[in-house]
Amino acid sequence: MNDVTDATDAFDTTVCIVGAGVSGLTCGTFTARAGLETLLVDGGESILRRNAHLENVPGFPAGVNARTFLDGSREAAADAGCRFVEGRAVATTEHEEGFTLELDDGRTVETRFLVAASWADAAYLPDAVETDQRGSKTYVTADEYGRTSLEGVFAAGRLAGKPHQTVVAAGHGAEVGLSVVEASEVPFYHDWVVPEGYFTDRDRPEPPGCEEIPAEEWSERERVARERMRALLAEPHPDDPTPHPSLAASDGTDER
């Protein structure tokens, strides 16, 4: 991906999300839009890339190519201000200001909040994060807000035990993003974009997180949105679905 940040060996951020799949991208969109510096680390690809045609996400009456959906989700996260780093998370150390995440090539990320959205790997998390082994899969134990047993560490999507569905993973990513915002000192009400005057004409100040925009601005945003959707959907996606690893791997192992 050409949106990857690689200018340094030691990254510094407020929110580090491990996993730029469905839940991680949505989580990052919410934390970045709330103004929190957000870095997404990914060392592979979303399991959704194996899908043949995605038919149960709202807004796409005849479905959508899953890889196109992921590309669009990544563009939205980048637009919101997320940075991306390619690499596999292998270890985490807790310290007074947060966490140091170590990547497989030795690079590190300093972060205050850590979100594990890394289906199906929790091995890099500190031992203080409770997990639940079910068969060959490890799930991270999290409360309804995605908070784990270690303060500052959150879990999102399938890794947090959510049903194996795209919209659920995306929704949970958003919810966990909002939990992170709530744990920070950023003042926040809702992430809403509303017509000019929606609050202020009722003598209410624009609440934090909300944005009032005039008619010219929302027509312009709609024009840009239509253009970008046309570009995203103009051609069939170049990539085929990724085969299951047990079919692709010569040794027949099932990695997930």
Ligand X SMILES: Cc1cc2nc3c(=O)[nH]c(=O)nc-3n(C[C@H](O)[C@H](O)[C@H](O)COP(=O)(O)OP(=O)(O)OC[C@H]3O[C@@H](n4cnc5c(N)ncnc54)[C@H](O)[C@@H]3O)c2cc1C
Site residues (vs ligand X, CB under 6 A):
18-24, 41-48, 50-51, 54, 56, 88-89, 117-119, 121, 124, 157-159, 164-167, 169
State the residue number with the nearest CB to ligand X. 21
The smaller minimum CB distance to ligand X, of residues 124 and 188, is found at 124
Q: What is the dihedral of CA 123, 126, 128, 129, to 10 degrees?
A: -50
CA distance 100 to 91: 8
Smallest distance, ligand X to C-beta of residue 122, A = 8
Residue 56 vs 136, nearer CB to ligand X: 56
The minimum distance between CB 255 and ligand X, in angstroms, equals 11
Shortest CB 203 distance to ligand X, Å: 42
Contact between 233 and 68 (Cβ < 8 Å): yes
Which CB, 14 or 73, lies closer to ligand X? 73
Q: Between residues 76 and 213, which has the closer beta carbon with respect to ligand X?
A: 76
Largest CA distance in the chain: 67
By beta-carbon proximity to ligand X, the closer residue of 25 and 36 is 25
Measured CA to CA, the distance from residue 246 to residue 253 in angstroms comes to 5
* CB-nearer residue toward ligand X: 121 or 191: 121
Least Å distance, CB 121 to ligand X, is 4
- Kindly state the tokens that stand for 66: 């899953």
Taking the complex as a whole, the smallest distance from the CB of residue 37 to ligand X amounts, in Å, to: 19
The number of beta carbons lying within 10 Å of the beta carbon of residue 15 is: 28
Amino acid residing at 211: E
**Can you tell me the distance from the alpha carbon of 241 to that of 4, in angstroms, rounded to the nearest whole number?**
23
Could you identify the residue written with the tokens 């995203």?
Answer: 232
Q: How near is the Cβ of 173 to ligand X at its closest, in Å?
A: 7
Query: Residues 85, 40: contact at Cβ < 8 Å?
Result: yes
Burial class of residue 107 (count of CB atoms within 10 Å of its CB; 0-12, 13-18, 19+): middle
